[in-house]
Chain A
Amino acid sequence: MNERQAETSTTPHLCVVGHPNQGKSSIVATLAENDSVQIGVESGTTRQADRFEFLIDRKPALVLIDTPGFQRPRQVLAWLQAESVAPGDRPARVRTFLATPENRQRFPDEVALLTPIMAGAGILYVVDAAQPVTTSDEAEMEILRWTGMPRMAVINPMASTAVDPVWQRTLDQSFQWVRTFNPLTATLPARQALLRAIGELSPGWYGAIQRLRHHLELRDDERLQQVSHELAGYWCRQMTERQALSALDGNKPERAQQRLIQVLNQRETEYFQQLQAQWGHRHSELDQQPEWELDQSQLMHTETWYLWGLKQRELMLVAASAGAATGLAVDVGLGGSALFLGALSGGVIGSASGWWATRQLPGKKLGWLPLSREQAFAGPVRHPNFPLVTMARALTGTQQLWLRPHARRDAIALHAAASDWSRQEQRQLLQWAVRLQSPLRGGLRASRKERWRTVHQEALEHWIQQTLATRLHKAYQDQEQQVWQSHEY
């Protein structure tokens, strides 16, 4: 970004600077909601200035620049102070520093972090603030003051929450705002508070940052709707999953049961992986949850299939259609003089034949044509705890992923918290599960009243949305309390 672009651009640019290993990249990862930001165990992981752009409908709203830390601040300050300059000329002195060719080799890290600043970017200075202020820290702050750009300090409580009071007074002298921000625990309210402070650094930034904050909230609302829809779909599929016993299983239902469990596990893993990918946790490992504990005695079911795998009603319809078509051919042959009685009677006879075939016992054949056959299935799981456990695991995991800051690098250990649902909610979930599984009972088709309909799915999605929203609201309230408390130094 050159100077001309910076002057004409109203997009806030912010450089994240500080001493190495103060958590600059962690803060960027959490704000940008991207766990691909490299946060190494050792210091100096960031080698160059990396740009992260917040785009709303492809237009930039905020640009964050993650920089390598100061490596030679006292030397740079000595260079700047080598000539006496008036306070108003200090930014020009910094530009001279950047324009001097030998400084690119001698002070590459400082050149990398000061170049975007002197091109118009604001400053987000990150400190730990638990240990005393050193001369290097003072040199860093002085260099940043010389730039003359909008700047704020962020205290990242890496080791403890105790802030050295000298830091507070020191930072107040050099920065417009001082905020505390823990990238390992920050959720949306803390990020919004930090963004609000960034927006107030410069008058031209307020609108863009407000727009970004607004879209972050909108995005979360939409995300809640979308995840409720996906979670409902996932839960419905888990409730209706079943595995047919095939010839290869050789009358051993355990194999089909194993396959059922594998499919349930796989689907759950895929659900969470999908959320990970959608929410920027692409590089985090997922700790597997314990396998499903299914009551084996309630898993096996049989269903009767008729010709070509059709069910009773379907077979009657197909037979009626075939009969009607044959009768119609006869009508056409008679030139319509039969007044379509051929089609009508063909349909009736076909339907009756289909019904008769369905009354035969499994295994009976008409010549070589098998009339009906039984098919055994493992699943769907009808244990009364299964719907509750499935929903509890999905909801808790979803909540965990939602609230997880992107600066964290530990594996995501999904665990199902004991649900605190009321008896009414539990009963409602069970009723939904029964309704979903009703068409899968062998034999006759479920009646209209028993079938799963759109209104039930909408009710399920609404319940999921409300439950998630309540849990997230509580987590946000706790976070907001912490944000306010941390401001009271």
Chain B
Amino acid sequence: METKPVPTLAQPAEEITQRALWSWPLALVAGVLYALASLHYTAYDRINVLVVWLLWAGVPLIGALLSIWAFRQSRHRPWLFRIFQQRADITTPESFRRVQMLLVLQVLWLLFGLGLLLGFAVQLLITDLAFGWRSTIALDESVLARLLQWLAWPWHAWWPAALPDSALLAETRFQRIDPESAPTDRAGDWWPFLMASLLFYHLLPRVLLTCWCFWRWRRLRPARLEVTAPPVSPVQPSEAAPLQYGRLSEWRDACRLAWEWNDPLARYCLGQDDWQREEQTMDQVLNGHPGRLYWSVPGHRSPVAELADRIQQAREAGITGQGILVRSTGSEELSERHVASWQAFARQQGLSWLQHE
């Protein structure tokens, strides 16, 4: 029987998760482009380090915190998957699928951040970046220094260079109406701070969220219980000759042998002794040189190769005509299954299928 193709019920979550594989390199490239765009500046300008910090660390950190809130609160699909949701699909995903979608989202954001890091690293290698900071509210440099110290707390012990000092703040304050006034010596010294912020406020939260999603997904994932089976080969139809039918009344002169039951009408009963004693009985049968013989078999048993061996032995002894009579040995009727087995056997062995009139 041919296996029918398996139709799938609408599972947008699964489709999106599979489709997301092409979006992973896209997220990486988007991150690189985002980095390049953020670090672009003209000859008489500087890169506003505070804006870059906001775009690379501040907003992503808020996004990560919002994600945590979304995990706990919402039972809908994550936002990216709702964009692709079919209009007619009003079902909400199972917990396992939802966590799977969240995992995909976190991986995409993580790849975006890695692209950002890659773009930044490349820019640091091949161009000169001039950073500055400016403010209209005329922030006191000491206030900004304290704020930066607080932001740099996670790494200040093992990467002191990534903590901007007061001198750096003083030398890199920039005003667009007077670009010449700001010294350029330390214009590039903000990069450790930006790099550390990118690592700790953008990538690290995303890594943690990704790991957490992955752990939840593993926990919710259904236990993989499967049963392997050998490949199915179709049952080959028998190539034996068609069944030959015969009337029992025409075989009255034949020698009747019972197989695996005590047929009172049989001359000999085989299949019930140990093999050595049965060999002697079979010799007796053959020494009688019957012209034909037929086997009276119990319908509830199945044909076996031992009977086939006896049939072959009789054939080799010159008995050309052999038949088979399937009997019910009790009150129950013969099952279709067993009759079919005996008929197949009769075809294979070239036996006449004997029936009462």
State whether the Cβ of B83 lies closer than 8 Å to any Cβ in chain A: no
> In the complex, what distance in Å separates the CA atom of A78 from the CA atom of B224?
47
Task: Pick out which of these stretches binds chain B: A68-76, A315-323, A358-366.
Answer: A68-76
Contact in complex: B336, A273 (CB < 8 Å): no
**Contact call A159/B225, Cβ cutoff below 8 A:** no
A135 at the interface (CB under 8 A from B): yes
Encoded as 1 (CB less than 8 Å from any B CB) or 0, chain A from 52 to 65 comes to 11111110000000
Cβ contacts A to B, 11 pairs, < 8 Å: A21-B341, A32-B227, A37-B229, A52-B228, A71-B304, A71-B306, A134-B271, A135-B273, A234-B9, A270-B7, A454-B92
* Residues in chain A near residue B90, CB distance under 8 A: 236, 240, 436, 452, 457
Contact of B6 among A42, A77, A277 (CB under 8 A): A277
Complex CA–CA separation, A265 to B41 (angstroms): 63
Closest to B94 in A: A229
A237, B10: Cβ atoms closer than 8 Å: yes
A86 contact set on B, CB distance < 8 A = none
Give A contacts to B, CB under 8 Å. 19-21, 32-34, 36-38, 40-45, 50-58, 69-75, 77-78, 109, 128, 130-131, 134-136, 139, 158-160, 212, 215-216, 218-219, 222, 225-226, 229-230, 232-234, 236-237, 240, 270-271, 273-274, 277, 280, 282-283, 285, 436, 452, 454, 457-458
* 0 or 1 for each of B314-343: is its CB under 8 Å from A? (1 = yes): 000000000000000110100111101100
A232 to chain B: closest residue by CB: B91
B10 adjacent to A74 (CB under 8 Å) = no
Contacts of A73 in B (CB 8 A): 306
Using Cβ atoms and an 8 Å threshold, which residues of chain B touch A134?
260, 271-272, 301
* Chain B residue, CB-CB nearest to A280: B227
Instruction: List B contacts of A454 (CB < 8 A).
Output: 75-76, 92
Interface residues of B in 1-51 (CB under 8 A from A): 1, 3-4, 6-10
With A55-B227, A130-B300, A230-B9 already in contact, 14 other A-B pairs whose C-beta atoms are closer than 8 Å: A19-B301, A19-B304, A20-B303, A34-B229, A36-B229, A56-B224, A57-B224, A71-B305, A72-B304, A78-B276, A139-B274, A219-B222, A219-B225, A237-B88
In Å, the complex CA distance between A33 and B341 comes to: 26
Query: CA separation between A19 and B278, bound complex, in Å?
Result: 20
Checking B229, B303, B329 against A43 with a beta-carbon cut-off of 8 angstroms, the contacting residue is B303
When the two chains form their complex, are residues B309 and A72 in contact, meaning their CB atoms are under 8 A apart?
yes
Tell me whether A273 and B6 are in contact (CB under 8 A): yes
CB of B304 within 8 A of CB of A20, answer: yes
Chain B interface mostly: loop
- CB B328 to nearest CB in A, in angstroms, measures 11
A56 near B272: Cβ-Cβ < 8 Å? no
Note all chain A residues with C-beta closer than 8 A to B332: 159-160
Partner of B225, one of A50, A52, A54, A436: A54
Least distance between B273 CB and chain A CB atoms (Å)? 6
Closest residue to B309 on the A side, CB-wise?
A: A72
Q: Given A218-B223, A270-B7, A271-B9, are A240 and B232 neighbors across the interface (CB < 8 Å)?
A: no
- Interface contact A215-B304, CB-CB below 8 Å: no
Size category, B interface = 35 or more
Instruction: Determine if B230 is an interface residue (Cβ-Cβ < 8 Å).
Output: yes
Contact (Cβ within 8 A) A136 B223? no
Set of chain B residues within 8 Å of A282, measured between Cβ atoms? 3-4
Q: Flag B240-261 by CB within 8 Å of A: 1 or 0 each.
A: 0000000000000000000010
| Among A45, A131, A160, A277, contact of B329 (Cβ-Cβ < 8 Å) | A131
By Cβ-Cβ distance, the 5 closest A-B pairs, closest first, are: A71-B305, A21-B302, A43-B302, A78-B275, A43-B341
- Contact yes or no, A236 B91, CB < 8 A: yes
Do the beta carbons of A38 and B232 come within 8 Å of each other? yes
B226 within 8 A of A: yes
Q: Among the interface residues B7, B225, B340, which one has the most CB atoms of the partner chain A within 10 A?
A: B225
Contact A55 B225 (CB under 8 A): yes
Q: Which residues of B contact A53 (CB under 8 A)?
A: 227-228
Residues of chain B within 8 A of A135, CB atoms compared:
260, 271-274
CB pair A41–B340 under 8 Å, yes or no, is: yes
Q: Are B336 and A41 in contact (CB under 8 A)?
A: yes
Any chain A CB within 8 A of the CB of B235? yes
Query: When chains A and B are docked, how far (Å) is the Cα of A139 from the Cα of B278?
Result: 14
With A and B bound together, what is the CA distance between A29 and B278 in angstroms? Answer: 37
Once the chains are docked, how many angstroms separate the CA of A230 from the CA of B4?
Answer: 20
**A172–chain B nearest beta-carbon distance, Å:** 23
Given known A-B contacts A54-B227, A56-B223, A226-B94, A273 and B7 have beta carbons under 8 A apart: yes
A323–chain B nearest beta-carbon distance, Å? 24
- A108 CB to nearest chain B CB (Å): 9
A219 to B225, CA, bound (A): 7
Chain A residue nearest to B238 (CB atoms) is A42
Q: Which chain B positions have C-beta within 8 A of A78?
A: 274-276
| B52 sits at the interface (CB 8 A) | no
Quick check: A74 and B232 within 8 Å, CB to CB?
no
Give every chain A residue within 8 A of B340 (Cβ-Cβ): 41-42
Taking CB as reference atom, which chain B residue is nearest A273?
A: B7
Do residues A225 and B94 form an inter-chain contact, with CB atoms below 8 A? yes
In Å, the complex CA distance between A379 and B272 comes to: 72
